[in-house]
Structure 1
């Protein structure tokens, strides 16, 4: 999509689980990142603090573009979060299915909701087409491992345990599937798993590398 109005009006379906505004931003996000990047981990940035940074014209342009996106999302009633990420926390419990954001996963909500995302600089989120994604709990060996870890038997209680731990939201690529990276600077809406959703959720993952400047809502 080339226009913000089309992004806002677009509808998800069985065939469309991600809608994106394709654009090239003019700001110097490298300069901004140099002021923000932590040594490690992930830090939430208050967008209201950005205008106070000592930046050149390109950096100030980048701040303006971020604040424009933040305003759009706030006007939609959302609470956008700006993160500067060098590395993500990983699931190190040793279970048969990892549940960190670097694993392909879908988002879930109790009511109608979309995930909004923009990578301003750094490695981008990757998507899998619905037909290319297989739930990890469908793998017999992984399911058996989770069953043993739960101490339960197959049945409704185990299914509830899988859901409570978000194990049912994690996927793996089918053989031959290729992830699709979202473009730098592009603003995307991703379909979420919610009761009554018109189609499947968008399966995506965070990149393992950094640094990265990310807006998420």
Structure 2
């Protein structure tokens, strides 16, 4: 994975948290990866956490209460350290035990859930951080390999039909309903999987952002397996 990522213009590898947060996005680069060797037993942590809803937020206290093996404790310390680094940076990390996200089935012609390629929009210039410690991991795709769904003619026509019953401008309608955040992969596109244990920083959609926002999607979960995801 390391070699494959280092050859891709979209992704830049870094070797520390400080480098992750201080490196500027430039050109085609809109994803930074603190690439780390997998250590510890995250599966043990997942097996001992209780899933209360499809997405269950795990607190620091929940983690500290777990009775773990030496390898499980290594994994816990990695998570706790990541959370503290992000908090000290000013972010608000959330650790989630995840069975699945809700699916968007309101419209047959356009999906707007997190399983669809999309970008994140933020009212302030604060990028998305995420790390999948266990389970299926997210994909990103270069902006040149994706097309905004609202620009695809057949989808745009159907959206115009929906818009006819509103008093908003068409562009406001698209933004208010988050249709403009979603993308379709072009033929022969090659998504990049983010893997496990690596902490990523993805560029968001913001007027002061120097680069295009990073297009990404949540993975289809592996059968009978929960995900452990840190995100903010």
| 8 Å CA contact 1:130, 1:202 repeated in 2 | yes
C-alpha separation in 2, matches of 1:90 and 1:47: 29
C-alpha separation in 2, matches of 1:156 and 1:174: 30
**Aligned counterpart, 1:190:** 202
**Aligned counterpart, 1:102:** 115
Give the secondary structure class of the aligned counterpart of 1:30.
helix
Q: Which moved more, 1:40-49 or 1:98-107?
A: 40-49
Alignment of 1:167 with 2:182, yes or no, is no
Q: Aligned-pair distance for 1:145? A: 1.2
Q: Which moved more, 1:205-214 or 1:91-100?
A: 91-100
One of 82, 107, 122 as aligned partner of 1:69: 82
One of 109, 112, 127 as aligned partner of 2:140: 127
TM-score normalized by structure 2? 0.88
CA RMSD of aligned residues (A): 1.8
**Aligned counterpart, 2:231:** 216
Alignment of 1:12 with 2:25, yes or no, is yes
Q: Which structure 2 residue ranges, 5 or more long, are not aligned?
A: 1-13
Does the C-alpha gap of structure 1 residues 134 and 47 become closer, same or farther in structure 2, counting only changes over 3 Å?
same
| 8 Å CA contact 1:51, 1:60 repeated in 2 | no
Q: Aligned-pair distance for 1:157? A: 0.6
Give the secondary structure class of the aligned counterpart of 1:171.
strand
- Within a 5 Å distance, the mapping from 1:40-79 to structure 2 comes to 41-79=54-92
Task: Figure out how many residues of one structure are paired with residues of the other and give that number.
Answer: 216
One of 17, 21, 29 as aligned partner of 2:34: 21
Alignment of 1:179 with 2:194, yes or no, is no
C-alpha separation in 2, matches of 1:56 and 1:107: 37
Q: Which structure 1 residue ranges, 5 or more long, are not aligned?
A: none
Q: Aligned-pair distance for 1:134? A: 0.6
Give the secondary structure class of the aligned counterpart of 2:150.
helix
| 8 Å CA contact 1:25, 1:185 repeated in 2 | yes
Deviation per residue, 1:145-180 (Å, 9 max, x gap) = 112123258x97111010011100100111110110
C-alpha separation in 2, matches of 1:174 and 1:14: 21
TM-score normalized by structure 1? 0.94
**Aligned counterpart, 1:151:** 164
C-alpha separation in 1, matches of 2:48 and 2:159: 43
Deviation per residue, 1:170-201 (Å, 9 max, x gap) = 00111110110012100000000101210100
Does the C-alpha gap of structure 1 residues 156 and 15 become closer, same or farther in structure 2, counting only changes over 3 Å?
farther
